[in-house]
Structure formats: C-alpha cells, structure tokens
C-alpha cells in the first residue's frame, strides 16, 4: 500500500501572500495519480487539484499549482494570492488505493 506523509500539521499565511504545503509519498507503481483535497469545517472534501504521474508538466488550477518531483516522491501544493476562504484542512492523497495524509491546517490571516 502507498503511504502519504504531510509533515506540517499547521501553517498560516497573510492574506494575498503565497504559501506552500508539503507532501511526500511512497509507491512502487509507475502509473498513479495524486490529489490535494480541501476540507472546511463542514467536513465536505473538495478536490483542489490532481496530478497524473506520467505527466511531466505540473498541474495548475487558477491560484493553485503543484510542484511534482517524481524521483523525490514529492507533491507540494502552492497557493498564490491566499484568500480568507482558503482557510481549511488540506489533505494530500495518492491513488491508486486512495490513502490520505494526516493533513495540514491552513489559516489565512487578514
């Protein structure tokens, strides 16, 4: 089974600034997918961004982008121009067996 590690339990950032959340994973597979999910206090899991391992190009979704380092098995999430609504728990997850990391609590300060 794949394991996913998020080493930052909590982070904070000032509104409009940039923050990077870290994630490392362990897998023996060649083809897999990686995800970042956001979970606000309502506990609804919301997909932020997805990366396919066979693609060299880092995924980008508006203010969210990833730095995918396949050899290092690293998958970090960069949030640009942080907004108050970005405050939430962020979980990194690996597919194919959908294991989640322990999460990073992000607080955006006004």
Partner 1 sequence: EAGVAQSPRYKIIEKRQSVAFWCNPISGHATLYWYQQILGQGPKLLIQFQNNGVVDDSQLPKDRFSAERLKGVDSTLKIQPAKLEDSAVYLCASSSTRGNTIYFGEGSWLTVV
**Binding status of residue 1 toward partner 1 by CB under 8 A:** yes
Determine the size of the site formed for partner 1 (CB under 8 A).
24
CB of 49 to partner 1, least distance (A): 10
* Residues between 57 and 86 with contacts to partner 1, criterion CB under 8 A: none
Residue 14: how many other CB atoms lie within 10 Å: 11
- On whether the CB atoms of residues 11 and 22 are closer than 8 A, the answer is no
Binding string, residues 26-55; x marks residues near partner 1 by CB under 8 A: ------xx-x-x----xxxxxx--x-----
Tokens, residue 31: 């083809």
């Amino acid at each position: 089974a794949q394991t996913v590690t998020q080493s930052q339990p909590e982070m904070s950032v000032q509104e409009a600034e940039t923050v990077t959340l870290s994630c490392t994973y362990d897998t023996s597979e060649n083809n897999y997918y990686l995800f970042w999910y956001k979970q606000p206090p309502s506990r609804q899991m919301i997909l932020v961004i997805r990366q396919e391992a066979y693609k060299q190009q880092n995924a980008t979704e508006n203010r969210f982008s990833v730095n995918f380092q396949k050899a290092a098995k690293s998958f970090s999430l960069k949030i640009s121009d942080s907004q108050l609504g970005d405050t939430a728990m962020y979980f990194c997850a690996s597919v194919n067996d959908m294991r989640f990391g322990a999460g990073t609590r992000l607080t955006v300060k006004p």
